[in-house]
Amino acid sequence: MIDVKDLRVCTDCGTVYNEKFSRGVCPNCHTNNYEQISADSGVGNLER
């Protein structure tokens, strides 16, 4: 079970990754420019 508070979304390439498994950098483009996904941010919200 992954915890949503560990998820990051890369602001450079848009990759969503788990901060615990990626050591804080994006596994796709290897930058650490990210936003934290929160339940009230609208990211991943199914109601559009």
Structure tokens that stand for 45 in this block:
């919200």
pTM, full prediction:
0.66
Structure tokens that stand for 10 in this block:
């890369």
Contact 6, 19 (CB under 8 A): yes
pLDDT mean over 8-22? 91
pLDDT at residue 18 greater than cutoff 60: yes
Q: What is the rounded CA–CA span in Å between residue 22 and residue 46?
A: 26
pLDDT interval class at 44 (50, 70, 90)? low
pLDDT tens figures, 19-37: 888 887 999 999 999 988 7
CB atoms within 10 A of CB 47: 4
7-10 β-sheet, strand order: 16-18, 7-10, 34-36
Task: Please state, rounded to an integer, the average pLDDT across all residues of the chain.
Answer: 81
Which is more confidently placed, 43 or 24? 24
